[in-house]
Amino acid sequence: MFIGAQISLYPMTSDFVGVITTSLSALDPWRGQLRIETDDISTLLVGPPEAVLPAIRDLFVAAAKTGVHVTLHATLSRGCPGEPDDPMCHTAVLTGPLAPIEERKALAHEAVGRAPVLDQAVSAQFSLYTLGIDQHMTEIYGCIDFLKSSGVFDRSKNFCTRLHGDAGAVMATLEQAFLRFGPPQGHVTIDLTLSANSPSPR
Amino acid sequence: MFIGAQISLYPMTSDFVGVITTSLSALDPWRGQLRIETDDISTLLVGPPEAVLPAIRDLFVAAAKTGVHVTLHATLSRGCPGEPDDPMCHTAVLTGPLAPIEERKALAHEAVGRAPVLDQAVSAQFSLYTLGIDQHMTEIYGCIDFLKSSGVFDRSKNFCTRLHGDAGAVMATLEQAFLRFGPPQGHVTIDLTLSANSPSPR
């Protein structure tokens, strides 16, 4: 199993380099569990989802707390058949057979209930893709059901779903969407945008 | 068939609103062929791919020509089973049966050869997803073969592929990747980032 994300942080300020540089220290507590590589377009995070998602959260919250309008894009992926198996990505959640969808939705809700409160409002917009299976819309509709009762559901849009709420709950919800839908050993990806401090009305 | 994109333009300057507002006029020639809806996170473009992709290109080139570091994210989608059929999205390219992959690669190369030269260098990073089919990696590897001989291939990264070159050729290559791989009536998406004028070395 290979799990990770390509992430990019976009502070809408002429001092974008300063905001990015300052925010990067938020990744420090996660560096032991992640492989991190940066180029001019994005930063690769490889590791278990229990580290990848909170690392993205902490980086984004640090940038958002500067007060500038900031967005983050992430391409999340698990189980891509074209990537090598990597023991550092192991997670107990992605073992065993595919459980009934109601059981998975209940586990997802429990996990979101344990999310920390970070006192930073964020909006998220994302698309979940479960690849290599015939009935991919069944998993996607199951995920949308979970999202609608997650407490941070905002609205559905063409091609994607919007969430809004505290960064802790929003990112816990995204982590559950990523892990609980699609087969445990399957190929699942998320196309994610986070936004904070936008001057435009929601 | 329903075809479109959710797009977001990110100018890394304190005058980001000014750059976005100025660049929007680049969409004017395409408005007759597109349905356009904007909120605080993204702008929806719905219509035929022959308008959606060039509209994204022209918007991004207009923003890049201001000289500021600017990125654009697009979630492209065609054939999503959850979206309504829309006659304005019709395109002759997405009719008929799935042709042999070598034939599709040749057609893609021909189309890229007709791309205009726009005198604006851009980098692109993207992932192609062909959904609802068992052998999705066959289509993805076929697409990667096409990209490697497209003239704008930069390099492969985990989860995605990088292109670099003139905006005309790069966007024509992306349009062909979107249209020629995966079944004509299938569900295909692209997670795309464009970048120009980055202060970081490639």
Measure Cα distances from B166 to A174, B64, B101, B123, B176 in Å.
36, 12, 26, 9, 16
Query: By CB neighbour count within 10 A (0-12 exposed, 13-18 middle, 19+ buried), where does A67 fall?
Result: exposed
In a domain, B50, yes or no: yes
Q: How far apart are CA A2 and CA A66, in angstroms?
A: 33
Of the partner residues A6, A12, A132, the one whose CB lies closest to the CB of residue B159: A6
Identify the pLDDT of residue A16: 98
Give pLDDT tens digits along chain B (202 positions).
999 999 999 999 999 999 999 999 999 999 999 999 999 999 999 999 999 999 999 999 999 999 999 999 999 999 998 898 999 999 999 999 999 999 999 999 999 999 999 999 999 999 999 998 777 788 889 999 999 999 999 999 999 999 999 999 999 999 999 999 999 999 999 999 999 999 998 8
One-letter amino acid at B84 equals: P
Split into its structural domains, chain B has a count of: 1
Q: Which residues of B touch A42 (CB under 8 A)?
A: 125, 157, 193
Q: pLDDT tens for residues A95-151?
A: 999 999 999 999 999 999 999 999 999 999 999 999 987 777 888 899 999 999 999
CB pairs under 8 A between A and B: 153
Contacts of B145 (CB under 8 A, 6+ apart): B105
Cβ-defined contact of B71 to A8 (cutoff 8 Å):
yes
Question: ∠B96-B98-B101 over CA atoms, to 5°?
Answer: 140
CATH number at residue B168: 3.30.70.930
Q: Residue B125: inside a domain, yes or no?
A: yes
Q: What is the pLDDT of residue A135?
A: 75
Residues near A110 by Cβ (< 8 Å), separated by ≥ 6? none
Strand, helix or coil at B51?
helix
Chain B contact probe: residue of A3, A41, A68, A178 with most B CBs at under 10 A = A41
Asked if A57 and A168 count as a contact pair (C-beta separation under 8 A), the reply is yes
The shortest CB-CB distance from B162 to any of A41, A69, A193 is to A41
Mutate: best of B80, B137, B159, B170, partner A, most A CBs <10 A? B159
Q: What was the pLDDT predicted at B134?
A: 76
In a domain, B202, yes or no: no
Q: How far apart are CA B67 and CA B71, in angstroms?
A: 12
Q: What is the pLDDT of residue A198?
A: 97
Which ipTM score applies to this complex? 0.96
Alpha-carbon distance B147 to nearest alpha carbon in chain A (angstroms): 16
For position A132, what pLDDT does the model report? Answer: 83
User: Where would I find the H helices in chain A?
Assistant: 16-23, 49-64, 101-113, 136-148, 167-180
**Residues in contact with A102: Cβ distance below 8 Å, sequence separation at least 6, in sequence order:** none
Indicate if the alpha-carbon torsion angle A112, A116, A119, A121 is positive or negative: negative
Residue B138: per-residue pLDDT:
85
Q: Is there a contact between B170 and B152 (Cβ–Cβ < 8 Å)?
A: yes
- Does residue B201 lie in a domain region? no
The pair of structure tokens assigned to B188 is 């295909």
In a domain, A202, yes or no: no
Rounded distance between C-alpha atoms, residue B124 and residue B171, angstroms? 9
**Rounded-to-integer distance, Cα A103 and Cα A66, Å:** 40
Quote the domain boundaries for residue B174: 3-196
Does A121 reside within a domain?
A: yes
Q: Where are the alpha helices (DSSP H) in B115-158?
A: 136-148
The verdict on a CB contact (< 8 Å) between B134 and A129 is no
Which pLDDT score, from 0 to 100, does residue B90 have? 95
Mutate to test the interface with A, among B10, B80, B178, B192 (most CBs of A within 10 A): B10
The burial class, CB within 10 Å (0-12 / 13-18 / 19+), for A70 is: buried
Asked whether residue B85 is domain-assigned, the answer is yes
* Structural domain contains residue A46: yes
Closest alpha carbon to A94 in A136, A138, A140, A48: A48
Name the nearest CA neighbour of B83 among B189, B177, B192, B176: B189
A9 annotated as belonging to a binding site for a ligand: yes
CB contact under 8 A, A8 and B193: yes
Q: Which residues of chain A, if any, have pLDDT below 50?
A: none
| pLDDT reported for residue A152 | 98
